[in-house]
Chains A and B, each alone.
Chain A
């Protein structure tokens, strides 16, 4: 971890105003689409951002690519904060950070040839002379596994999987350092998904591209990302390396998500396995629940959960979780684990004692963390 991470996001917030319905329209509230999100992406690595619709994962992606301007927080790309830079300065940034979109049918202009779609960034950014654009386009088509002679065709002459390849080629045109892939395979047929995932992996290795990989499909994310963040209602509830998230998740929401995935292997067992059933739906982000946002659907929520918001605590070398009752599935503690850190009693009322340790809220991982079993801060 000596190398500086390519992307650091710290306490990122995106609030969309909600207007009143009176004669004079006042702002009466905010949709807290993203509310204090911190993470980092190491160079050449992939961070997966998972969660259900409305959790803010796509908004986070749009903020990182600066398609939207965040309400507050920092987005440090190679050390420079890009959260507040002017549109003029954004242009060179667009070379470095590119986006792959979900829908290969609507994200390509049907009236432009594939060649002009892929070559447009070269022309806009004026990086190569005009007569060098076509060879570069053909090179890119070759890289993504399409026939280089097809540069003159229109998007509708290609199938869904091929169109997604075109979208990927377009995003590669300027040799970006960071790719934000927003549900890059979810619109594709099952047999095509694997092709595109393999292509992305091959590109990552070949060009040393870092990925922010946004998806709802936990299996796809597991396959692609060594590091995964789980989002719920605008916040990261758990972030850890792959083995920890998929093998030793400590947040009840992560556990519920994982157990909800229908599993091919189930056929051998016959019927459906027991799963953690979450009741109801995700609450409105305009008026999120007090304390822990997940508590309204959480099977083990207690009083403290409504009173105090659990901090995103580092509980392992590469593991952070935001839960008062963090613990592995079936082994959640009976008493909140956060009391000593927050300086509150079991019900969440101030206990008079000062917080034992300040919780680091930075985007990365610390050398020290809060060990759940010993309730002590230990270091690596």
Chain B
């Protein structure tokens, strides 16, 4: 087992590999920069713009939380980073710069080599995300073997080491178990081990705790936080504002395929500037506050992506649109403009966001 590599030593920075990949990045501090990302799906009924002009950056060492409801495009846009739309009907455009390299301009083979090595992803339901017919160890080692020229024995040793690090008891025995023999929490730990086995620079966690019980969720969130120094940057996709509040440094709120508000976690959670974010926060019951108080729901339903409302996609459900003069909300898509702080942007025509604060939930 002398060929066992210490974490990080085998990593080849994407920017250094492949001369064909032009380094368009400015080489600034952002680890991941997404520019004007569009993911469109042509269907029989028309073009579904699942993600439409999404831009954001993730700084080195930071975790970005992407919040949105089903159909907001949060998962679709992250799958685009992994290149998982390649070979499908999806039309992907824009730029995804990972350490300066545009992932969208990599060849299929280059993207495959980056997958699981430079960018890794863990998924919501670890039972369906693992193949039922292969042992947990086999599936984790597979991820190591495809990127490292090592023996099966070495890959197994590395797998056991990773299982140990994510807190699986008796990893040398459990490595030969099948996924169904693991509990839900252990399966998610194994998924995390699989994601981190090649020391990726970016870890994308897509609803990593949604399928888990609350005490197990707490364990997994603890684990992710402990492991955060093992990867450079992270993206955590979730609908649970509480999870984001605890895990993320910055938050991106998505609605109908677009970013509607970006800011630090504190800014978003305490001083939301966009009515949708405000509505989300107001509609979720929490463990503090007056339990007898009525929840303030967001009226209506999420829009159809086939035929989104004109102007601001949230306008049909927005309770603050009478504060905007004229029919701006229903005719013109608002730009992302800076809100209160320098790091805080919102997509809203509302100029005086104090109306939100007046109705601020307790």
Contact = CB atoms under 8 A, between A and B. Distances in A.
Chains A, B in direct contact (C-beta < 8 Å): yes
Interface string A160-201: 011000000000000000000000000001111111011001
B70 A191 contact: no
A193 B245 contact: no
B295 A262 contact: no
A281 B186 contact: yes
B287 A218 contact: yes
Interface in B50-72: 69-70
B17 interface: no
Given A195-B297, A278-B219, A264 B284 contact: yes
Contact of B281 (A201, A220, A264): A264
Contact of A271 (B183, B242, B246): B246
Dominant secondary structure at the A interface: helix
Contacts of A335: none
Interface in B119-164: none
B67 to A, nearest CB: 9
Contacts of A281: 183-186, 216
Interface range on chain A: under 10, 10 to 19, 20 to 34, or 35 or more?
35 or more
Contacts of B283: 190-191, 193-194
Given A197-B295, A198-B295, A267-B269, A190 B245 contact: no
A294 B303 CA distance: 45
Nearest to B251: A267
B287 A219 contact: yes
Contact of B284 (A194, A201, A218, A259): A194
Interface range on chain B: under 10, 10 to 19, 20 to 34, or 35 or more?
35 or more
Contacts of A260: 214-215, 217-218
B55 to A, nearest CB: 23
Nearest to A195: B297
A220 B279 contact: no
Most buried by B among A159, A264, A275: A264
B61 to A, nearest CB: 14
Interface string B175-195: 000000001111000000000
Contact of B270 (A192, A198, A268): A268
Interface string B208-243: 000001111111011001000000000000011111
B197 to A, nearest CB: 23
Nearest to A268: B270
Nearest to B298: A191
Most buried by B among A220, A256, A281: A281
A329 to B, nearest CB: 13
A15 interface: no
A218 B265 CA distance: 23
Nearest to B265: A267
A239 B185 CA distance: 27
B299 interface: yes
Interface in B276-326: 279-288, 291, 294-299, 301-302, 317
Given A195-B299, A281-B185, A275 B285 contact: no
A204 to B, nearest CB: 13
Interface string A210-253: 00000010111011000000000000000000100010000000
B269 A268 contact: yes
A220 B218 contact: no
A216 B214 CA distance: 8
Interface string B106-117: 000000000000
Contact of A267 (B215, B268, B287): B268
B91 interface: no
Contacts of B216: 52, 281
The 10 closest A-B pairs by CB, nearest first: A262-B242, A194-B297, A194-B283, A267-B269, A260-B218, A52-B213, A223-B285, A194-B295, A191-B298, A189-B69
Interface of A: 52-53, 159, 161-162, 189-195, 197-198, 201, 216, 218-220, 222-223, 242, 246, 256-268, 270-272, 275, 277-278, 281-282
Given A259-B218, A264-B286, A265-B288, 4 more contacts: A194-B296, A201-B294, A219-B286, A262-B245
10 contacts: A189-B70, A191-B280, A194-B283, A198-B294, A198-B295, A201-B294, A223-B285, A256-B215, A264-B284, A281-B185
